[in-house]
């Protein structure tokens, strides 16, 4: 028996399947500088494009003169809206049902908006020529503050749609209004608030920021005039959707469009949408018949392609005096910038903001969101989150702390008192979601024990007394966040993009020798898909992960999928992978039965083989079965061993986590130091614990950035203030705190392997945890809610406001 057990353990280990800390296979090329990114691609005769951009946030275009630019040696063409208009391409559809100018026609609506596209022999000539395009502007008053957007005398921004009183998401109240979205029981919620013992109301701002991946957005279009075929390489998180959109807007048949997303250097939502650069490189190549490349620079990336957040959330909670939350009411003013280019599933104009009841059993709630136009860059992407869930979690996790303070209760105790209980799952939230599984009390207890919560509070009480006595100038904050995410968009009944249901796919082919190629409709941007999908297949099919090659990103070879964002790869394509593998396994069982001359029902699966029940020495390994599938399949069974699955998830998955942050703040400098940060994540079944840890580290680092300094700010003229890494905080290893990670496992009941997504959880849970730590540090001084970002200057100003500087 011992020998058999050792043998089984060795066979299992050899697979490097689920649960194993398999090293990332893609890192072999990344760490040697051998990744292949869009800008590494060089095609014969390739030209380069660059944009002329508006210096104004709001201005009329009086004239555009391209003659000086065209005269510069090496310049091949200069495109303006006048060139695109006859092709119907001066506007492009956005994912949110709006249209966005590809090149500005009569007006510019945000600083750095695209006005003309210069195509030249090299990048430098193109850049020089942009300065030779003479554009005469007539400046107009601009709107930067979303609260002024719908004032009666506000300048009308979108003249192209000013008479359209019904938009993609219903009636518009003002020419600068985009939509109003309401959900929940308004009357019942108002009634609860009218009679509650205790209520709180706070304006919580999740400020404008940017995903800022290291690699900017880029594309390379190559049109073959003879074949009428377009090949488009680009930084696409969703290559198939890009192919469909290109077909719809260009009129090229979809089968003549080949979209390829090679290696991608981070996406975080920035690479979901369609941008003017993609369209212009395609048009340039179709018109000129040679390849045209477009590569954004850092300032262009930060100031034009996709912002995140900019949610102004009036958040209210109602509770009994014992601390039972009985209602939640939220109004969001959402600043969408100049065009509604938010990347959300079509039916969700405010994404999944209605997950804002969080991890708590709140009986009634009402949420209303108003989207407005301002003179800022468009976008509204899910920066490392699932469609506004970061905003939602920030609202509830800050609000619950404000409530705890008003009730005079401990913030952890208030959370525990209101948690949805393990036996309440599947749980139906007041705002319409069905949470699949959770065990919040267990996770919270584990986290509190690990961080030593009680002694931290005791230490904090002593420090506060010492501060009051003038013995220290340091404040100590304990930040808590207990978040519930909603990832894996999603079920066709409520999730589609431009009418395409948000399924995903996997195709697995086993070769005669037993090695495998598998392709998915998703696209890794650094998450390690080549490593982890192989682990799912390894466990399901008993083939070592090292014998399995994963390929994504080529629309000619990969099955159609909706791409990678919103932590949907594992919940959707991961499920497709398991289901496709199980189809193969079912066929393999038939082949094995034939080979062993037994009935299928007499076989049982054992790690990497089918064996005859009760006769373990009679077996066929998956490798042997693969050979037989091509060599001598059973009669009436087609040869080969492959399967494809398009997986439409029955529900989202709901990962959760308990985060604690201990922070020390020097009131005289405003410098905040993170002493400890503990993150417990529950993402259901864990495929690769090492990759999960890496995802958590990355997500927490971005949460730290957003909470503690990162911001895209505008001055009153609409000048963007955060458009370079001099001004936009991107933490390096020097600033980044040390992370402590932990986990519990509560599998998803509807996912084939019980896995939930994890890539974004740490960001979603991390932002409020940092902000709560800062707020908690100042709470005993009656500071009121302190808005993010919490950089040293702003915290110093808090000290000044409170008269702490002597
Ligand atoms: O969609 P995206 O890849 O950004 O997010 P994800 O599905 O949360 O996966 C991020 C990475 O974590 C992938 O490499 C997953 O395979 C891995 N992961 C895991 O090992 N176990 C889980 N339960 C969830 C994700």
With vertex at residue 644, the alpha carbon angle to CA 641 and CA 645, rounded to the nearest 5 degrees, is 140
Task: Assess whether the C-beta atom of 755 lies below 6 angstroms from ligand 1.
Answer: yes
When pLDDT is cut at 50, 70 and 90, the band that residue 278 belongs to is: very high
Nearby residues of 309 by Cβ (< 8 Å), 6 or more positions away: 206, 207, 208, 209, 383, 390, 391, 706
Q: What is the pLDDT of residue 10?
A: 96
Beta bridge partners of 50: 118
**pLDDT attached to residue 4:** 80
Query: Averaged over 102-120, what is the pLDDT?
Result: 98
pLDDT of residue 657: 98
Closest residue by Cα to residue 545 from 576, 514, 521, 572 = 514
Distance from the alpha carbon of residue 658 to the mean position of ligand 1, in angstroms: 19
The least confident of 2-16, 570-584, 748-762 is 2-16
The pair of three-digit structure tokens given for residue 755, joined into one six-digit string: 């896995």
Q: What is the mean pLDDT of residues 541-546?
A: 98
Q: What is the pLDDT of residue 5?
A: 81
Is 100 a catalytic site residue? no
Q: Is 769 a catalytic residue?
A: no
18 lines ligand 1 (CB under 6 A): no
Percent pLDDT > 70 in the chain is 100
Q: Is the ipTM of this complex over 0.95?
A: yes
Which of 384, 388, 398, 609 is flagged as catalytic?
Answer: 384
Q: What is the pLDDT of residue 25?
A: 97
Supply the residue whose CA is at minimum distance from atom 22 of ligand 1: 686
> Residue 498 above 90 pLDDT?
no
Query: 473 an active-site residue?
Result: no
Tens of pLDDT, residues 378-391: 999 999 999 999 99
Q: How confident is the prediction for the chain on average, in pLDDT?
A: 97
Query: What is the average per-residue pLDDT within 715-733?
Result: 95
How far away, in angstroms, is 567 Cα from ligand 1 center?
Answer: 7
Contact between residue 424 and residue 437 where contact means Cβ atoms under 8 Å apart: no
Q: Atom of ligand 1 at shortest distance to CA of 569? A: 1
Backbone phi, psi, residue 476, to 5°: -115, 130
Pocket test for ligand 1, best of 747, 753, 757 (most atoms within 8 A of CB): 757
The alpha carbon of 481 and the centre of ligand 1 are apart by a number of angstroms equal to 22
What is the residue-wise DSSP string for 515-529? -EEEEES---SSS-H
* Identified catalytic residue from 111, 237, 695, 710: 237
CB 695 less than 6 A from any atom of ligand 1: yes
In the reported structure, the alpha carbon of residue 76 is separated from the centroid of ligand 1 by a whole-number distance in angstroms of: 45
What percent of the chain stands above pLDDT 90? 97
How far is Cα 518 from Cα 530, in angstroms, rounded to an integer? 10
Q: Quick check: 364 and 432 in contact, CB under 8 A? A: no
Residues 266-285 have a mean pLDDT of: 95
Q: Is the peptide bond before 507 cis (omega within 30 degrees of 0)?
A: no
pLDDT digits (tens, 9 = 90+) for 357-369: 999 999 999 999 9
The 10s digit of each residue's pLDDT in 500-526 is 999 999 999 999 999 999 999 999 999
Of ligand 1's atoms, which has the minimum distance to the CA of residue 760? 8
Q: Give mean pLDDT, residues 559-580.
A: 96
| pLDDT at 570 (0 to 100) | 96
- Alpha carbon of residue 226 to chain centroid: 39
Answer whether 687 contacts ligand 1 (Cβ < 6 A): yes
pLDDT exceeds cutoff 80 at 806: no
Return the H-helix or E-strand segment holding 178: strand 177-184
Does the pLDDT of residue 1 top 80, yes or no?
no
More confident residue, 34 or 3: 34
Q: Is 384 a catalytic residue?
A: yes
Structure tokens at 107: 């007006």
| 328 touches ligand 1 (CB under 6 Å) | no
Atom 19 of ligand 1 has which residue's CA nearest to it?
687
Predicted local confidence at residue 63, as pLDDT: 98
**String of b and e for 389-419 (b: at least 16 CB within 10 Å)?**
bbbbbbbbbbbbbbbbbebebbbbebbbbbb
pLDDT of residue 2: 80
- Provide the token pair at 185: 């029981």
CA of 683 to the centre of ligand 1 (A): 9
State the average pLDDT over residues 664-692: 98
User: What pLDDT score was predicted for residue 9?
Assistant: 95
Is residue 611 within 6 Å of ligand 1 at its C-beta?
Answer: no
Q: Which atom of ligand 1 is nearest to the CA of 536?
A: 16
| Tokens representing residue 586 in the block | 């079912």
Q: Is the CB of 529 under 6 A from ligand 1?
A: yes
Q: What is the tens place of the pLDDT at every residue in 255-267?
A: 999 999 999 999 9
Q: What angle do CA 492, 496, 499 make, to 5 degrees?
A: 110
Query: What is the pTM (predicted TM-score) of this model?
Result: 0.97
Is ligand 1 within 6 A of the CB of residue 301?
Answer: no
Which residue owns the Cα nearest ligand 1 atom 16?
532
DSSP state for residue 559 in the 8-state scheme: P
Q: Which residues have CB under 8 Å from 353's CB, separation 6+?
A: 311, 330, 332, 367, 369, 388, 389, 391, 392
Take atom 3 of ligand 1 and give the residue whose Cα is closest. Answer: 569
Q: Tell me, using a 6 A CB cutoff, whether residue 17 lines ligand 1.
A: no
What confidence tens digit (pLDDT) does each residue in 177-228 have? Answer: 999 999 999 999 999 999 999 999 999 999 999 999 999 999 999 999 999 9
Do the bridges between strand 170-171 and strand 740-743 make them parallel or antiparallel, or are there none, so unpaired?
A: unpaired
Give residue 601's pLDDT band: very low, low, confident or very high (50, 70, 90). Answer: very high
pLDDT tens by residue, 62-98 = 999 999 999 999 999 999 999 999 999 999 999 899 9
**Count, residues in the chain:** 806
* For residue 250, pLDDT beyond 90: no
Does ligand 1 have an atom closer than 6 angstroms to the CB of 570?
Answer: yes
Q: Do β-strands 166-167 and 311-319 pair in parallel, antiparallel, or remain unpaired?
A: unpaired
- State phi, psi for 58 to the nearest 5 degrees: -150, 115
Amino acid 3: pLDDT: 81
Ligand 1 center from residue 759 Cα (angstroms): 6
- Is the distance from the beta carbon of residue 277 to the nearest atom of ligand 1 less than 6 Å? no
Ligand 1 centroid vs 753 CA: distance in angstroms?
13
Question: Which one has a higher pLDDT value, 3 or 118?
Answer: 118
Question: Of the residues 695, 751, 755, 756, which should be mutated to test ligand 1's pocket, given the most ligand atoms within 8 Å of the CB?
Answer: 695
Strands 672-682 and 740-743: parallel
pLDDT at 557: 98
CA gap 127, 118 in Å, rounded: 8
Tokens for 260, please give them: 């390829």
Is the beta carbon of 691 within 6 A of some atom in ligand 1?
yes
Tokens of residue 563, six digits: 């791409």
Q: 568 CB less than 6 Å from ligand 1?
A: yes
């Amino acid at each position: 028996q011992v020998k058999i057990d050792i043998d089984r353990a060795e066979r299992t280990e050899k697979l490097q399947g689920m649960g194993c800390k398999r090293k990332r296979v893609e890192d072999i090329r990344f760490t040697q500088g051998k990744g292949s990114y869009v800008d590494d691609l060089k095609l014969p005769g390739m030209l380069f494009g660059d944009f002329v951009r508006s210096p104004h946030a709001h201005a009329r275009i009086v004239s555009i003169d391209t003659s000086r630019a065209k005269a510069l040696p090496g310049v091949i063409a200069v495109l303006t809206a006048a060139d695109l208009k006859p092709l119907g391409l001066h506007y492009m559809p956005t994912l949110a049902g709006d249209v966005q100018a590809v090149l500005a026609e009569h007006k510019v609506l945000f600083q750095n908006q695209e006005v003309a596209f210069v195509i030249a022999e090299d990048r430098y000539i193109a850049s020089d020529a942009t300065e030779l395009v003479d554009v005469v502007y007539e400046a107009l008053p601009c709107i930067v503050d979303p609260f002024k957007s719908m004032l009666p005398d506000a300048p009308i921004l979108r003249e192209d749609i000013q008479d359209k009183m019904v938009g993609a998401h219903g009636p518009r109240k003002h020419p600068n209004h985009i939509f109003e979205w309401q959900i929940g029981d308004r009357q019942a919620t108002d009634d609860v608030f009218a009679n509650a013992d205790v209520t709180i109301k706070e304006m919580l701002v999740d400020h404008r920021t940017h995903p800022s991946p290291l690699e900017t957005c880029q594309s390379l279009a190559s049109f073959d005039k003879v074949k009428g075929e377009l090949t488009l390489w680009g930084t696409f998180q969703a290559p198939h959707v890009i192919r469909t959109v290109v077909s719809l807007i260009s009129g090229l048949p979809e089968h003549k469009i080949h979209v390829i997303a090679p290696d991608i250097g981070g996406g975080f939502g920035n690479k979901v949408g369609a941008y003017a650069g993609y369209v212009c490189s395609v048009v340039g190549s179709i018109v000129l018949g040679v390849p045209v490349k477009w590569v954004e620079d850092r300032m262009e990336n930060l100031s034009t392609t996709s912002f995140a957040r900019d949610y102004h959330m009036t958040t209210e909670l109602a509770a009994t005096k014992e601390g039972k939350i009985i209602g939640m009411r939220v109004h969001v003013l959402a600043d969408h910038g100049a065009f509604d280019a938010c990347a959300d599933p079509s039916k969700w104009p405010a994404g999944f903001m209605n997950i804002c009841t969080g991890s708590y059993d709140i009986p009634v709630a009402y949420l209303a969101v108003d989207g407005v136009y301002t003179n800022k860059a468009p976008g509204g992407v899910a920066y490392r989150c699932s469609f506004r869930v970061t905003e939602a979690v920030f609202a509830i996790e800050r609000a619950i702390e404000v409530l705890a303070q008003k009730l005079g209760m401990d913030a952890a105790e208030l959370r525990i008192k209101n948690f949805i209980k393990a036996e309440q799952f599947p749980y139906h939230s007041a705002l319409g979601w069905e949470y699949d599984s959770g065990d919040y009390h267990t996770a919270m207890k584990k986290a509190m024990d690990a961080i030593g919560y009680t002694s931290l509070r005791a230490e904090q009480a002593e420090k506060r007394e010492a501060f009051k006595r003038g013995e220290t100038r340091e404040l100590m904050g304990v930040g808590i966040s207990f978040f519930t995410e909603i990832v894996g968009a999603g079920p066709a009944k409520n999730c589609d993009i431009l009418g395409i249901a948000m399924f995903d796919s996997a195709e697995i082919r086993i070769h005669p020798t037993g090695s495998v190629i598998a392709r998915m409709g998703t696209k890794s941007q650094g998450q390690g898909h080549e490593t982890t999908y192989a682990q799912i297949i390894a466990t399901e099919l008993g083939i070592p992960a090292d014998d399995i090659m994963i390929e994504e990103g080529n629309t000619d070879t990969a099955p159609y999928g909706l791409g990678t964002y919103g932590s949907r790869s594992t919940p959707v394509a991961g499920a497709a992978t398991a289901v496709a593998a199980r189809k193969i396994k079912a066929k393999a069982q038939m082949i094995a039965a034939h080979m062993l001359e037994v009935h299928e029902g007499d076989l049982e699966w054992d790690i990497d083989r089918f064996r005859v029940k009760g006769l373990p020495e009679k077996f066929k390994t998956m490798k042997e079965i693969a050979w037989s599938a091509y060599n001598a399949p059973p009669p009436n069974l087609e040869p080969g061993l492959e399967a494809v699955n398009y997986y439409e998830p029955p529900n989202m998955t709901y990962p959760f986590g308990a985060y604690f942050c201990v922070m020390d703040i020097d009131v005289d400098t405003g410098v905040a130091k993170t002493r400890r940060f503990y993150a417990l994540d529950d993402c259901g079944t864990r495929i690769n614990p090492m990759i999960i840890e890496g995802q958590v580290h990355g997500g927490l680092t971005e949460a730290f950035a957003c909470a503690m300094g990162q911001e895209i700010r505008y001055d009153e003229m609409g000048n963007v203030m955060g458009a370079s890494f001099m001004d936009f905080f991107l933490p390096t290893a020097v600033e980044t705190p040390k992370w402590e990670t932990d986990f519990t496992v509560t599998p998803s009941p509807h996912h084939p392997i019980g896995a939930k997504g994890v890539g974004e959880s740490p960001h979603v849970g991390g932002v409020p945890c940092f902000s709560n730590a800062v707020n908690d540090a100042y709470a005993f001084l009656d500071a009121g809610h302190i808005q993010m970002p919490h950089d040293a200057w702003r915290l110093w100003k808090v000290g000044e406001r409170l008269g702490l500087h002597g």
